[in-house]
Amino acid sequence: MTLTPLQQQPSLFGHTTARRSFAAMTTTLLISLLGASASLMSVSAQAAEEEYDLEATITKKGETNQNQVAFVPFAGDSTVSSLIENNLQATPLKITSQGLIGQPHSRDDLAVTLPAWQQLGIPYLVIGSSKQQGGNTSITFEVIEVAQGRIIKGTQMVQGVDKKAAANKAAGRIYELLTGKQIDLNARLVYVEEKGSGKSKTSSLILSDADGSNKRLLAQVIDAAIYSPAISPDGRFVAYSVQLKDNSANLWKQDLQTRQLTRLVDMKGSNLSPSFSPDGSKILFSSTVNGDSDIYRVSSQGGKAEQIISLPYDQLSPSYASNGSFVFVSDHASPNRPNIYRYSFSGSPVQISRGGYAANPSISPDGTKIGYLSGRSAAIMSSNGSNVANYGATGIDAAPKFSPTGERVVYSQGTKNSNLVIRYVDGGKTITLPTEGVAKFPVWVPSAQ
């Protein structure tokens, strides 16, 4: 079969301070590849060590408001301001843009009203403006610790050709200044979307922005199925399996920049669940080439695969951790009740999950959490196996996948006209993105920031 690719910081105011059965498919395939482009953006911090001489006297400090952050709508393009605010509203931060004191957009604007802001009792204030400059969107902003009258790490500037990408970048930087946690709000999604039934069924690999917009077709097969896409750490490559009518599955890799399509292994059986190593040089996958399902490793350039674990039971769904170890699934300890194990390429695998049904694991970038399928529910456990969160049944046995910085997860939900669901691990709003078919296997694509 041939697959053919197609086209301390400054003071502002003078203070220092399990295995599944696969449906039969025919071998009619059509693969299409569309190139993806990334907007070039830059971020800079200005006056990081400067001190400002504006004096303010606090006569009375009010009670701390339940809203942690006051967001003053930015001057300039209202769309940019709304994009930034909406991004922040979705996070675990408590954001308000109501009942504020005036409309300051810079430290100079804020000088006169600072004492009133301090009495308002909101700990943090975000002010800024945007403008179009030489074909770019330029966003300047400040995050202020109100009680101390202090700009956190100075005046910030973000620029980008794409307005939405620049706004996302700015919102991510604001979130980092407030929490100390990085977040990639320009990360995109890759997922499988299925439509139709029988011989007319299509399985498409879709790339989209994380708000569901800018959908692009990466690959499509007819009367076959695409399974388990995985993204390389640099966001350039996607590896996935194409399952055929005879239940065999071939493992492929696509270059999202050059459109090159590479078959990774020439092995019989079902070759499924690819996972890139932290440096992108290797790919783990499971294969039934010898009858049982075992875990293999191959160069990300393709070639001869080596078997990693030789045990008298099935091993499925390998997923690399950032430290080079990996987790996988096996039901050898309790038939039909799979558990999650960790393996470090030496010694014996160590069981992590604690009974029940645990499958389809993926590890957070910092290695402290594991997204997995708990029975029929999307769930998260700690790296030692204790439960962290259970998001409930998804209808299609979908496990959460962590974003590039680990702050968010995505999973699919629903058996007809499915949704993609995005959640912050620490709370915040649940974002639901409708799709045009049955959505499966969503994963994140890091941006080129």
* Mean per-residue pLDDT, 430-438: 95
Residue finishing a domain among 179, 198, 227: 179
Whether residues 78 and 208 fall in one domain: no
For position 244, which CATH number holds?
A: 2.120.10.30
- Report pLDDT for 448: 76
Q: Domain for residue 33, yes or no?
A: no
Whether residues 133 and 193 fall in one domain: no
Q: Domain for residue 45, yes or no?
A: no
Dihedral sign, CA of 157, 161, 163, 164?
negative
Q: Domain for residue 40, yes or no?
A: no
- Report pLDDT for 76: 97
Q: Domain for residue 397, yes or no?
A: yes
Q: Which residues of 104-141 are buried (b: 16+ CB within 10 A; e: fewer)?
A: bbebeebbeebbebbebebbbbbbbbbeeeeebbbbbb
Total number of residues shown for the chain? 449
Closest to 70 measured CA to CA, from 45, 43, 93: 93
Measured between alpha carbons, how far is 388 from 369 in angstroms, rounded to an integer?
Answer: 8
Whether residues 335 and 431 fall in one domain: yes
Distance of CA 441 to the CA centre of its chain: 13
* Mean per-residue pLDDT, 288-300: 94
Whether residues 198 and 329 fall in one domain: yes
Closest to 143 measured CA to CA, from 189, 194, 177, 190: 177
* Mean per-residue pLDDT, 253-268: 90
Q: Which residues contact 199 (CB under 8 A, 6 or more apart)?
A: 26, 222, 223
**Is the pLDDT confidence value at 65 over 60?**
no
What tokens does 146 get?
Answer: 């109100």
362, 371 Cβ separation under 8 angstroms: yes
- Report pLDDT for 23: 32
Relative to beta strand 438-445, strand 427-434 is unpaired
Whether residues 122 and 154 fall in one domain: yes
Per-residue pLDDT of 328-381, as tens digits, reads: 999 876 777 899 999 999 999 999 998 789 999 999 999 999 999 999 999 999
Lowest-confidence segment of 47-56, 202-211, 218-227 by average pLDDT: 47-56
Position 66 confidence tier, pLDDT thresholds 50, 70, 90:
low
Number of neighbouring beta carbons within 10 Å of residue 368? 12
Q: How many helices, marked H, and strands, marked E, lie in the chain? A: 4, 32
What tokens does 143 get?
Answer: 């995050």
Burial degree of 198 (CB within 10 A; 0-12, 13-18, 19+): exposed
Burial degree of 68 (CB within 10 A; 0-12, 13-18, 19+): middle
15, 234 Cβ separation under 8 angstroms: no
Q: Domain for residue 230, yes or no?
A: yes
Whether residues 113 and 260 fall in one domain: no
* Mean per-residue pLDDT, 192-217: 94
Helix 78-90 crosses helix 163-179 at what angle (to 10 degrees)? 40
Rg (CA), the chain: 24
Q: Which residues of 377-409 are buried (b: 16+ CB within 10 A; e: fewer)?
A: bbbbbebebeeebebeebebbbbbbbbbbbbbb
SS3 state at 173: helix
Whether residues 225 and 336 fall in one domain: yes
**Is the pLDDT confidence value at 387 over 60?**
yes
Measured between alpha carbons, how far is 264 from 253 in angstroms, rounded to an integer?
Answer: 7
- Report pLDDT for 22: 29
Per-residue pLDDT of 71-129, as tens digits, reads: 999 999 999 999 999 999 999 999 999 889 989 999 889 988 999 999 988 999 999 99
Q: Domain for residue 12, yes or no?
A: no
Whether residues 269 and 307 fall in one domain: yes
What tokens does 350 get?
Answer: 């160590």
AA letter at 40: L
* Mean per-residue pLDDT, 153-162: 95
Residue finishing a domain among 179, 197, 213: 179
Q: Which one is predicted more confidently, 166 or 21?
A: 166
304-307 CB contacts, 8 Å cutoff, 24+ apart: 304/265, 305/265, 305/267
Q: Which residues contact 151 (CB under 8 A, 6 or more apart)?
A: 9, 10, 11, 12, 52, 107, 142, 143, 144
**Is the pLDDT confidence value at 195 over 70?**
yes
Position 67 confidence tier, pLDDT thresholds 50, 70, 90:
low
Range of the domain at 297: 188-445
Residue finishing a domain among 179, 200, 234: 179
For position 130, which CATH number holds?
A: 3.40.50.10070
Whether residues 195 and 298 fall in one domain: yes
- Report pLDDT for 329: 96
Whether residues 328 and 237 fall in one domain: yes
**Is the pLDDT confidence value at 147 over 70?**
yes
**Is the pLDDT confidence value at 64 over 90?**
no
The residue to which tokens 């694991």 are assigned: 361
Position 322 confidence tier, pLDDT thresholds 50, 70, 90:
very high
Percent of the chain with pLDDT over 70: 85
Q: Domain for residue 52, yes or no?
A: no
Position 21 confidence tier, pLDDT thresholds 50, 70, 90:
very low
* Mean per-residue pLDDT, 128-143: 95
DSSP letter assigned to residue 52: -
* Mean per-residue pLDDT, 168-173: 98
- Report pLDDT for 370: 98
Measured between alpha carbons, how far is 296 from 301 in angstroms, rounded to an integer?
Answer: 15
Q: Which residues contact 344 (CB under 8 A, 6 or more apart)?
A: 324, 325
AA letter at 169: K
**Is the pLDDT confidence value at 13 over 50?**
no
Measured between alpha carbons, how far is 172 from 404 in angstroms, rounded to an integer?
Answer: 13
Measured between alpha carbons, how far is 362 from 276 in angstroms, rounded to an integer?
Answer: 12
Position 324 confidence tier, pLDDT thresholds 50, 70, 90:
very high
SS3 state at 322: coil
Whether residues 197 and 168 fall in one domain: no
* Predicted TM-score (pTM) of this structure: 0.85
Q: How many domains does the chain have?
A: 2
Q: Which one is predicted more confidently, 353 or 7?
A: 353
SS3 state at 117: helix
What tokens does 184 get?
Answer: 């990639």
* Mean per-residue pLDDT, 384-395: 92
- Report pLDDT for 71: 97
Q: Which residues contact 362 (CB under 8 A, 6 or more apart)?
A: 319, 370, 371, 372, 399, 400, 401, 402
What tokens does 224 get?
Answer: 């076959």
**Is the pLDDT confidence value at 55 over 90?**
no
When the pLDDT of each residue in the chain is averaged and rounded to a whole number, the result is: 85
Whether residues 194 and 310 fall in one domain: yes
Q: Domain for residue 60, yes or no?
A: no
Measured between alpha carbons, how far is 245 from 226 in angstroms, rounded to an integer?
Answer: 12
